[in-house]
Amino acid sequence: MSLGCPKALVDSEQILTRLRAEGYEISSSYDGADLVVVNTCGFIDAAVEESLDAIGEALAENGKVIVTGCLGAREGLIRELHPKVLAITGPHAADEVLQHVHTHLPQPHDPFTSLVPPQGIRLTPQHFAYLKISEGCNHSCTFCIIPSLRGPLVSRPIGDVLLEAKNLAAAGVRELLVISQDTSAYGVDLKYRTGFHGGRPIKTRLKELCEAMAEFGIWVRLHYVYPYPSVDELIPLMAEGKLLPYLDVPFQHANARILKAMRRPASSENNLERIRAWRAICPDITIRSTFITGFPGETEAEFEELLAFIEEARLDRVGCFAYSPVDGAEANALPGAVPDEVREERRRRLMDVQEDISAELLAAKIGREITVLVDAVDDEGVIARSSADAPEIDGLVFVNDFFDAEPGDFLQVRVVDADEHDLYAEPLE
């Protein structure tokens, strides 16, 4: 059972791959399982509650449970509520998980004689996959405890990343979603050391990684990109069609004092200037971001400044969260706690503004011809995504009354209608 973000999903995939390589069968139900591994999330209170509920459900349904993931860093909390769990580990602890599995469920046979696909075992559909390029984070944002859970930045060797990407592409994956805690920082800890792929030297840096992945001929989408100046080097690759023209940039706020209290990089003025520069180079770029309302000490005037930023930036996709105190986060000690109802009211106001912007931007696409990637085909027709739509968090493109397609197909369509979140299209003859 895998909970939380795509980075945790990749951890689960790696655990499943190794278990399968050792001859274990993967069960789709509690009844068919001899043991359950629950990969937890511990970032915000709602995620903690979901993880604890999932552990309780697995214990009730099966009885033999190993817990891993971010919530595993709070072993005392888990033991207090669920003392019968067999073992608990922290995040990215595949070796420990395997050891505990071996203890409670002996290994069926030698891994060196087992066969698994080169791309490993995946929990995503066959046509897209997450590609994690690093672990941890060197930032110390006051609202976040990820560095204390997952540790400092550790970049994967670029040769390993590219080999995984190549294997995924060869297995039929049509879209790679590049993820990490801080994608822009890839290679910083290695001082951009030169690695090798296919006998070719390649610097361990995001630009060089993206240029190499572009050679696989599939969609490459970047997530969790901090707005460092180095990101500017990626925009020409998007304009040239080597990368999807899409950036997931977590700005979080626009007021200088709040950004400083959050310990976030870049000011709103720099971010607006950078967005304008990106759009000048690649007019079709889609920018997604997330924001927090009701951060401790946030005044109405500071929130209004955030709204003004939203209106001026005209971002394509926006997620917004009312501030939620996370156990262990430094922000909890800041003065000026904002009442829950005010946090939520500001969140709604921001999303109301963004909904109008989103509707206008999507309506402007009516009449355009675009490429979409098919996710599913149901009784009403094709459900797909454009380059502007990451799976599960962005919108969809519906091609109704058209059934001649399969998941993983690319289609050329014409946009005929739009609403606040989705597009409606017809296939081109």
User: Which two structure tokens, joined as six digits, stand for 100?
Assistant: 């505990």
List C-alpha distances in Å: 130 to 62, 84, 220, 393, 402.
Answer: 29, 33, 10, 14, 28
**Rounded Cα–Cα distance for residues 61 and 1 (Å):** 13
- The angle subtended at Cα 420 by Cα 380 and Cα 362, nearest 5°, is 90
Residue 41 is labelled as binding a ligand: yes
Euclidean distance between the first and the last CA atom of the chain, given in angstroms as a whole number = 43
Q: Which residues pair with 248 in a beta bridge?
A: 288
Q: What is the DSSP string of 96-118?
A: HHHHHHHHHS---S-GGG----T
Phi-psi region of 301 (alpha: psi -120 to 50; beta: other; left: phi over 0): alpha
| Token duo for residue 66 | 């190993």
Tell me if 135 sits within 8 A of 153, measured CB to CB. yes
User: What is the distance between the alpha carbons of residues 168 and 118, in angstroms, rounded to a whole number?
Assistant: 8
Nearest to residue 134, comparing CAs of 189, 176, 87?
A: 189
Residue 5 assigned as binding residue: yes
137 marked ligand binding residue = yes
Q: How many CB atoms sit inside 10 A of residue 214's CB?
A: 15
Q: CA 173 → CA 165, 255, 383, 398, distances in Å?
A: 9, 41, 17, 21
70 is in an annotated binding site: yes
Which three-class secondary structure state does DSSP give residue 286? strand
Residues annotated within a binding site for [4Fe-4S] cluster: 5, 41, 70, 137, 141, 144
Residues annotated within a binding site: 5, 41, 70, 137, 141, 144
